[in-house]
Amino acid sequence: MSVELFVTDKAGLTKFYEAIISKNETYAPVEKFGKYDFKRVSSFDACNPDAPIAQTMSAKPLFFPRSAKIMKYTADHSGTSVKETDEDSLAGKRVILGMKHCDARALQVLDKVYNWDYIDTDYQRRRENTVIISARCDKAETHCFCTSLDYDVEHSDAMDVAIVNGTDGKVFIEARTEKGKVFLKEMNIEQRISNNEFQVTDETAPAAVKQQYEAFAASFRLKMDYTEVNARLSKIFDSPEFENVSANCISCNTCAFVCPTCHCFKISDEKVKDTGVRYKSYDSCNNGYFTLMAGGHNPRPVKYRRWRQRALHKFVYYKERFGENLCVGCGKCTNSCPVNISIFEVVKQVSETVSV
Amino acid sequence: MMCRIDKVIQETPDIRTYRLKFKEEGIMERFNWLPGQFVEFSLLGSGECTFCIASSSTRKESFDCSIKRAGIVTADIHTGLDEGDEVGIRGPYGNWFPLEDLKGKNLLFVGGGIGLAPLRSLIQYCIDNRADYKDFTILYGARTSADLCYKDEIADWRKDPSLKVILTIDKPEETWKENVGVVPKILEEVVKPVVANTKVITCGPPIMIKYTLLSLDKLGFAPKDVITTLEMKMQCGLGKCGRCNIGSTYVCKDGPVFTYEQLKKLPDEF
Amino acid sequence: MEAAVNNQLVSIEKPEIVAPPDWEPVIIGILCNWCSYAGSDLTGTSRIQYPPNIRIIRVPCSSRVDPWFLIKSLQTTADGVLVSGCHPGDCHYISGNYYARRRFLVTKKLLNFVGFHENRVQFSWVSAAEGPKFAKVVAKVTEDIKKLGPLHLYKKENFEK
Amino acid sequence: MDYTNQIREIASKLFAEGKIDVFVGYRMTGFDENQVPALIRDPNEVSKLVFTDKSVFNLTNYLKQDHTRNKRIGMVVKGCDSRALNLLLTESQVKRENLHIVGIPCKGVVDENGNKMQNCIECIFPNPVVFDEMVDGTPTGSEAPPYQVNTDIQNIAAMDLVERRAYFEEVFESCIRCNACRHSCPMCYCAKCCIDQETSTLYHGANTTSSAFHALMTWSLHLAGRCVDCRNCEKACPSHLPLHLLHKWNEQVIYENFQEHLAGVHEGDRGAFYKYSMKDPDDFIM
């Protein structure tokens, strides 16, 4: 894959962001109650593209809304009429700023489940219409472990345009996909170069980008050998250790709601008088009644079984089925967990109880 | 797709069979299913629910779904839907019984309660293709005699000398003249099936399936000759919502029909 | 406290919401079976007129009214809620309305705290003999709610046709 | 405030005497300065227990979990936790004889940034109201300071109606309906929450602003007169919503109107909505 690499400085980047926001339907992290969530922004000052992972919600709701209307109906004396609906603006082209690479990677993982068998067209359309601009982190946060997993963080093409902070205030801008290249053209990259806001890079640039990555990779506190852990976990279904690691869990479901890759949902009907809406909203496998059937049978009646499903679905089942690890190592669940259960620690602790 | 309810049959106090026809002409001809598959009922204002198709595609003028009153949607279906009403249908989803594998074999059907519904689809199919299959034995149990469904149809089956129908109820009743006891017990003590060249198809409440599989093991059936349909909470039926995951298997896509051999490989979560 | 701008009714809590010209408030009336429901019956049999905006729900006792019911009414269709029960001391179940009284106060204050006018939810004691009082209460509540304008509690995002 | 050694001693003593099956305390996360709840079943693991001013989470939440039901439990409680425990005892959720309560004369816990939590600054029950033994041996601590009106509440109450509605609309809009607040609340022990009853016509499961309004308001009203201000909900909220505003407001209304009622202070004292007085205000009723 050919790469287009440009270099600019902080001021040039800010101008670039401002131009993006003024020309496109842009979503970026906006602060509310000390937490950043991706919202539509109209000015650069309102958002913070460098929001830390720990304080930022996932951008997943922009593709898979927390509650999507899948159908509307009216039923009155004249009869019943059903309307397929999704009044989210699906048509327009959108740009997302400030998405971290783990968050972007999560979408690539989700593509697999949304595109097997039945293809979710709404999701598909949102994916196609979106340009992701992502800044690579400079330093790992407390619960990050993306480099320990099965994907290439350095050359990830999950984002369309990658931004890398070099040394001496240099900022590298790199188009990683065709969509990204087209987008940079649309943003008049050539004119910016002639204005001297951007420069074409010389041959030292790739080395500088690599250097930044190495410094970033060295800053991780959490490291594990993914292949080994995956191999161990796939034999561990009956391990009593799950009961120990899940003892602390209070089944609050936060982890699933903030997770960028959790994709389980529930379908519920809401009605008022003679109109109603059918919603598809997030659900969590940590819920006691997630698998409870109407007859009263529940395949996963106790907490450790639900925990096991969550951990193994992330690290084993999805890999078996779709060839990717469902966890992307962003650490959002651990950050949000009221009792600080770390999925990294859990997986590591459990996997250490068996030998390969 | 909207369906019109052609007929409602009250099978037992809490089970009703709905006979459905598509509202629009022509869909029925294109609506092809095989025994074992299921559809999603969609009731506006209440939600969606999966039900297996209880009739065979060989009798194609309409199709049946038997619904037991258990949860929210089913309660609304029972109270709200009557002959002439309309209901939304998606499907058919899931896999089906391995019809080719069954050819030329003796068939033993073991059903409990509402679990006869998917079997009924297969039984009808096999009756309509009688030449392809050898002996039939149907073992059907329920809690009480009132809970036995498809009573009329069972009477029809009994008239056919090539079908052996054995009924059982869990607890003795005064007027009941047939077997008394839970299905696995009757299976071992009364039916005493021939193992050779026989395939077993079983469906029922989870606890019944569990013990039936054990007694079939005891009787010497090979796991690959035992076929069952699983129940699991499902919402989308499309392999997205993640509810029916058992390990890396999606029951709604890879199931609901599994052989005992396949089940043994799955994590113990059903 | 006139909530009208240019002769158009606007929501008092959210001035950007303007009522359509033919707007009539929807009021949910939750009445206790033993006093207020009988009282409303008496109003009807005595042929006393009262505004038709009220939709009546009968409950066994005013203490059966979970604050949830009020919240849910406001969330879905209602612009206001009236809860009515027996006079203190007259409860069919001895003390139900005393318990209810506590809940009503807290509910009313909390709704006010999160930005709803306190007249959105109203309470009254109406006995089975007070037919005229019931008519007066309903008239007052309807008038109050009309002044407050439409509630429009996030309804737009939910159920627009 | 560091009672690590005393708690370890008490826990090993309890295990040695065979009085408990599980000891619920705190341990270090193992990677930073924060602490997580620890459910100790093995007497050899007692050395993991710690207690400092970072021991924030209200442990009484674990009394409603399946794996602690009907077990004999030793538990560390601070002042606010003990009020929750008191209410759970009153509401027959736990058996007193199954509990061995270790009281902490609490001087306030700190948040992630090391600042004293707001509810600890305003705390009026730093000492446990129910306990079997105090960690430092004292029977009870200093006199409680008088009830204070929360400053956040004052700020909100000073706004006008339109501003308040706008403020809370933002709160409800930011809610993602994960229900972590409810699950982390020690007082929410219903096997299935009423607002999750899909059979109910009042059910609203989708995540919209109005459903968040419905869920949070109902939740806070069901907790009115029972909330002990431990702020587990706020700590659990992934959107960092100021949930304490709703609870503190209710607490204040109840305190002012219903004979200075505070939840769980006295043994056998039920929530404010489970009792009544002839003197309750009546003037708002027509």
For residue A76, the tally of other CB atoms under 10 A from its CB is 10
pLDDT at A147: 86
Q: By percentage, how much of chain B surpasses pLDDT 90?
A: 0
Tell me the nearest-neighbour CA distance from C157 into chain A, angstroms. Answer: 10
CA distances from D156 to C116, D165, D233 (A): 13, 10, 20
pLDDT at A192: 78
pLDDT tens digit string along C18-33? 777 788 888 999 999 9
Output the average pLDDT for chain C: 85
| D172, D214, D272 member nearest C102 (Cβ) | D272
Asked if pLDDT for residue D141 goes beyond 70, the answer is no
Nearby residues of B190 by Cβ (< 8 Å), 6 or more positions away: B166, B168, B179
Asked if pLDDT for residue B193 goes beyond 90, the answer is no
When pLDDT is averaged across residues B132-153 and rounded to a whole number, the result is: 82
| CATH 2.40.30.10 given to domain B2-93 | yes
pLDDT at B11: 81
Residue identified by tokens 């270790």 is D102
Asked if pLDDT for residue A75 goes beyond 80, the answer is no
Asked if pLDDT for residue A3 goes beyond 70, the answer is no
Q: Of the candidates B181, B210, B2, which has an alpha carbon nearest to the alpha carbon of residue B115? A: B210
Q: What ranges in chain B are assigned the alpha helix state H?
A: 27-30, 72-80, 99-102, 116-128, 151-159, 183-186, 206-219, 251-254, 260-265
Q: Which of A172-181, B51-60, D266-275 has the lowest mean pLDDT?
A: B51-60
Residue type (1 letter), A179: K
pLDDT at C156: 47
pLDDT at C48: 92
Tell me the nearest-neighbour CA distance from D213 into chain A, angstroms. Answer: 15
pLDDT tens digit string along C49-72? 999 999 999 999 999 999 999 998
CB–CB of C157 and D209 under 8 A?
yes
pLDDT at C135: 93
Nearby residues of A204 by Cβ (< 8 Å), 6 or more positions away: none
Q: Of the candidates D152, D39, D59, D156, which has an alpha carbon nearest to the alpha carbon of residue D109? A: D59
Rounded Cα distance between A207 and C16, Å, is 56
Q: Which chains touch C (3 or more CB pairs under 8 A)?
A: A, D
Nearby residues of C78 by Cβ (< 8 Å), 6 or more positions away: C26, C27, C28, C151
Tell me the nearest-neighbour CA distance from B90 into chain D, angstroms. Answer: 22
Contact D210, D85 (CB under 8 A): no
Q: What ranges in chain D are assigned the alpha helix state H?
A: 4-17, 79-90, 118-121, 151-158, 161-174, 180-184, 209-223, 232-236, 244-257
pLDDT at C139: 93
When pLDDT is averaged across residues B24-41 and rounded to a whole number, the result is: 80
pLDDT tens digit string along A32-66? 888 888 888 888 888 888 888 888 888 888 888 88
Rounded Cα distance between D266 and D210, Å, is 37
Rounded Cα distance between D79 and D107, Å, is 9
Asked if pLDDT for residue A263 goes beyond 80, the answer is yes
pLDDT at C2: 44
Q: Is B61 helix (H, G, I), strand (E, B) or coil?
A: coil
Contact A276, C160 (CB under 8 A): no
Find out whether the peptide bond into B92 is cis, omega within 30 degrees of 0.
Answer: yes
Rounded Cα distance between A214 and A208, Å, is 10
Q: Where are the domains of chain D?
A: 4-134, 151-274
Contacts across the A-D interface (CB distance below 8 Å) = 114
Strand duo B86-93 + B2-12: pairing: antiparallel
Rounded Cα distance between C99 and D272, Å, is 9
Residue bearing the bigger pLDDT, D179 or B60: D179
Structure tokens at A19: 């131009």
C57 forms beta bridges with C30
pTM recorded for the entire structure: 0.87
pLDDT tens digit string along A208-254? 888 888 888 888 888 888 888 888 888 888 888 888 888 888 888 88
When pLDDT is averaged across residues D257-264 and rounded to a whole number, the result is: 85
pLDDT tens digit string along A297-315? 777 878 888 888 888 888 8
pLDDT at C1: 41
User: Tell me, what DSSP letter sits at residue A241?
Assistant: H
Q: Tally the residues of chain A.
A: 356
Q: By percentage, how much of chain A surpasses pLDDT 90?
A: 0
* C34, C39, C44, C50 alpha-carbon torsion, rounded to 10°: -130
Nearby residues of D154 by Cβ (< 8 Å), 6 or more positions away: none
pLDDT tens digit string along A96-122? 888 888 888 888 888 888 887 777 878
* Backbone phi, psi, residue B246, to 5°: -125, 105
Among A290-299, B20-29, D8-17, D68-77, which range has the highest average pLDDT?
D8-17
pLDDT at C7: 58
B78 at A interface, C-beta within 8 A: no
ipTM (interface pTM):
0.85
Rounded Cα distance between B123 and B107, Å, is 9
Dump strand ranges (E) for chain B.
Answer: 2-12, 15-22, 38-43, 47-52, 63-68, 86-93, 106-112, 136-142, 163-169, 179-180, 198-203, 226-229, 245-246, 249-250, 257-259
CB–CB of B75 and D198 under 8 A?
no
Residue type (1 letter), A249: C
Q: Of the candidates D49, D118, D48, which has an alpha carbon nearest to the alpha carbon of residue D80? A: D118
Instruction: Find the helix or strand (DSSP H, E) in which D74 lies.
Output: strand D73-77
Q: Of the candidates A138, A134, A137, A136, which has an alpha carbon nearest to the alpha carbon of residue A183? A: A134
Residue type (1 letter), C140: K
Confidence of residue C160 (pLDDT cuts 50, 70, 90): very low
Q: Of the candidates A79, A274, A272, D217, which has an alpha carbon nearest to the alpha carbon of residue C156? A: A272
Tell me the nearest-neighbour CA distance from C104 into chain D, angstroms. Answer: 9
B203 forms beta bridges with B111
D283 at A interface, C-beta within 8 A: no
Q: Is D105 helix (H, G, I), strand (E, B) or coil?
A: coil
Residues B96, B98, B100: CA angle, nearest 5 degrees? 130
When pLDDT is averaged across residues A162-171 and rounded to a whole number, the result is: 82
Q: By percentage, how much of chain D surpasses pLDDT 90?
A: 12
Asked if pLDDT for residue C158 goes beyond 50, the answer is no
Asked if pLDDT for residue D198 goes beyond 60, the answer is yes
D62 at A interface, C-beta within 8 A: yes
Q: By percentage, how much of chain D surpasses pLDDT 70?
A: 98
pLDDT at C3: 47
pLDDT at A219: 86
pLDDT at A90: 61
- Sort residue D32 into left (φ over 0), alpha (ψ -120 to 50) or beta: beta
B211 at A interface, C-beta within 8 A: no
CB–CB of C102 and D210 under 8 A?
no
Residue identified by tokens 């710690």 is D50
Q: Is A231 helix (H, G, I), strand (E, B) or coil?
A: helix
CB–CB of B44 and A75 under 8 A?
yes
- Nearest residue of chain C to residue A87 (CA atoms): C157
| D162, D194, D258 member nearest C13 (Cβ) | D162
Asked if pLDDT for residue B221 goes beyond 90, the answer is no
CB–CB of A265 and B233 under 8 A?
no
Rounded Cα distance between A67 and D177, Å, is 10
Structure tokens at C124: 């009254």
Asked if pLDDT for residue A81 goes beyond 80, the answer is no
Instruction: Find the helix or strand (DSSP H, E) in which A116 lies.
Output: none
CB–CB of A276 and B72 under 8 A?
no
Q: Which residues of D touch B71 (CB under 8 A)?
A: 199
- Nearest residue of chain C to residue A74 (CA atoms): C161
Rounded Cα distance between C114 and C120, Å, is 12
B71 at D interface, C-beta within 8 A: yes
pLDDT tens digit string along C114-149? 988 888 999 999 999 999 999 999 999 999 998 888
Exposure class string for D69-98: b at 16+ Cβ within 10 A, else e: eeebbbbbbbbbbbbbbbbbbbeebbeeee
Q: Of the candidates D243, D251, D247, D249, which has an alpha carbon nearest to the alpha carbon of residue D172? A: D243
B241 at D interface, C-beta within 8 A: no
Q: Which residues of B touch A279 (CB under 8 A)?
A: none
Q: What ranges in chain A are assigned the alpha helix state H?
A: 10-23, 101-114, 121-128, 178-186, 189-194, 205-218, 226-233, 241-245, 254-258, 303-312, 318-322, 332-336, 343-351
Q: Of the candidates C21, C108, C9, C32, which has an alpha carbon nearest to the alpha carbon of residue C67? A: C108
B72 at D interface, C-beta within 8 A: yes
Contact B115, B144 (CB under 8 A): no
Asked if pLDDT for residue B210 goes beyond 50, the answer is yes
Exposure class string for A258-268: b at 16+ Cβ within 10 A, else e: bbbbbbbbbbb
The hierarchical CATH code for the domain B99-229 is 3.40.50.80
**Domain C25-154 class?**
alpha beta
Q: Is C137 helix (H, G, I), strand (E, B) or coil?
A: helix
pLDDT tens digit string along B48-62? 888 888 888 777 778
pLDDT at B57: 77
Confidence of residue A86 (pLDDT cuts 50, 70, 90): low
Confidence of residue A88 (pLDDT cuts 50, 70, 90): low
Rounded Cα distance between D99 and D22, Å, is 10
Residues B3, B238, B225: CA angle, nearest 5 degrees? 95
Q: Where are the domains of chain B?
A: 2-93, 99-229
